[in-house]
Chains A and B, each alone.
Chain A
């Protein structure tokens, strides 16, 4: 192709186009700056927390019990309590959430009922965490008679985090192409057989992403467990992983951070920082795991 070439030299910028280019650059810079301004403080704050916490961040801190009225020692009972709460709430929320998403994506028609369900899921996610706490207190602790216990707190967390699982499972299910289902129906499979043998296996990792996200959400919540099962202090054996029973009260990492930073006087400076770093580190690394899984899934998607 040896036609005339239109390089930059053939044009001379007019006043208007120079202004346009300036305007363009200014807009990009301003909006870019706005994005940066949200992220820079995040990095600074996380860095500051880690520096403040550094002297206490050892393995012993994780597996020791608090000593001297929570002014020394580690966070083992809180860490273990959080693990219990998360696992039990996961066990309750996952089946209900996944099946609810199956209903919404595979069974529900375009009608008012579906709309109601969708609206409820959105609202469930929008209800303030402290109202979830009131609900947990009224329904599980008092009405169901569970008392303030790990079980009551976990159930409250499960209902609160249900929307996370429903939303991501729905997304995973709807990513399975319709032709897969049609192929399966055409060889005579029923609706449920199709879901069980084709839809769920093909969306498994997507569902897993949502489940991991639920873990991170449940681990960080404080308000819903405050009045339903978490306590300021509970003595258990250091390093014993089976120290709690289902109907025991427990400590939790998030609650422990609240306690040592506001309720206990004369706590050494590094202690609340170290607790915060452990909590933040847990939540962010679980979240990062979910993001990595999702990115990996997208990269190897075959359809």
Chain B
């Protein structure tokens, strides 16, 4: 039986639709870069001083006498909060990944994985609120600090936010190590700890590195939580109990006040470009690292 011309035609339309949707992700990523770049381009090619932007800590976007756009303190803010978050999240995340994948009885494993999934689902504004209220008071009480909205606060919140991603990708990486490796180690009389330490960690190295990288990506890009928890002081922090402001928080806090297409507005888009490039690079590297394991195994 022959199919009607209409059916054949409709099918090719649908198939083209599917191809189009398939390519849409590429279009969107380029679209994001294009539109963010477009809004910031005017100032980027006229009046923008890269040396001041990357080298000065003077962020006075609305100064009456002399407007200055030095983002170094903001970069330091992002870097310090992210670094502290990773100092906490990497050992805990990898430890939990090892526990879930190697030590945990199956029933507990399911429960743990579901809990971690729920941990990942908590909206960032709720994390921010927890930072603003619970963590704030806790830090003031424990450290006798005048204010609890600090690098420490943001770092702990971001750590809790990036742990789920590190656990789930780290666990995948450990699972990808063939069981024959574990059996071989067991046959040699190694304990599970020795197996983890000497066999699995080296074997899953690339995957674990990717997990950490994606955790960093998440922490760098996080907005609402750091906006609410780190206390809005544009300065280079000298201790974890200093307040800072991050790149993301600056955009969120100031975009509403900057009039459309003013220099200030365009500088905020340039910060957006910087963030886009950083996270893009991190994701690209993580992808190459993961691909590295697939090819070698």
Residues of A within 8 A of B (CB): 20-21, 23-24, 26-28, 30-32, 34-35, 37-39, 41-42, 45, 48-49, 95-97, 99-100, 102-104, 107-108, 116-117, 119-124, 126-135, 137-139, 142-143, 159, 162-163, 166, 190-193, 216-217, 219-223, 226-227, 254-255, 257-258, 261-262, 272-273, 276, 279-280, 283-284, 287-288, 291
Instruction: Say yes or no for B73: interface residue by CB 8 A criterion.
Output: no
Find B223's partner among A21, A27, A119, A129 (CB 8 Å cutoff).
Answer: A129
A165–B118 CA distance with the chains assembled, in angstroms: 18
Q: Are A100 and B22 interface neighbours, CB within 8 A?
A: yes
Within 8 A of A (CB), among B33-77: 35-36, 38-39
Residues of A within 8 A of B104 (CB): 32, 35
Q: Are A127 and B32 interface neighbours, CB within 8 A?
A: yes
Q: Are A117 and B134 interface neighbours, CB within 8 A?
A: no
Q: Are B282 and A222 interface neighbours, CB within 8 A?
A: no
Number of B positions contacting A (CB below 8 A):
82
Q: Are B280 and A123 interface neighbours, CB within 8 A?
A: yes
Interface of A is mostly: helix
Find A27's partner among B36, B39, B128, B196 (CB 8 Å cutoff).
Answer: B196
CB within 8 Å for A42 and B22 given contacts A31-B96, A123-B283: no
Q: Are A138 and B35 interface neighbours, CB within 8 A?
A: yes
Residues of B within 8 A of A283 (CB): 121-123, 126
Q: Are B272 and A221 interface neighbours, CB within 8 A?
A: no
Please indicate which of the listed interface residues B15, B22, B29, B96 has the most CB atoms of chain A within 10 Å of its own CB: B22
Interface contact tally, CB-CB below 8 A = 260
Find A126's partner among B102, B126, B279 (CB 8 Å cutoff).
Answer: B279
Q: Are B125 and A254 interface neighbours, CB within 8 A?
A: yes
Q: Are A258 and B125 interface neighbours, CB within 8 A?
A: yes
Contact stretch, chosen from B199-207, B213-221, B234-242: B213-221
Interface of B is mostly: helix
Residues of A within 8 A of B103 (CB): 27-28, 31-32
Residues of A within 8 A of B275 (CB): 128, 130-131
Q: Are A39 and B115 interface neighbours, CB within 8 A?
A: yes
Nearest residue (CB) in A for B193 is A27
CB within 8 Å for A30 and B95 given contacts A117-B26, A124-B29, A192-B14: yes
Q: Are A126 and B25 interface neighbours, CB within 8 A?
A: no
6 extra interface residue pairs, beta carbon distance < 8 Å, beyond A27-B103, A193-B11 = A126-B280, A130-B223, A134-B36, A221-B124, A279-B123, A283-B123
The minimal Cβ–Cβ distance linking A25 to chain B, given in whole angstroms, is 9
Q: Are B121 and A128 interface neighbours, CB within 8 A?
A: no
Instruction: Say yes or no for B28: interface residue by CB 8 A criterion.
Output: yes
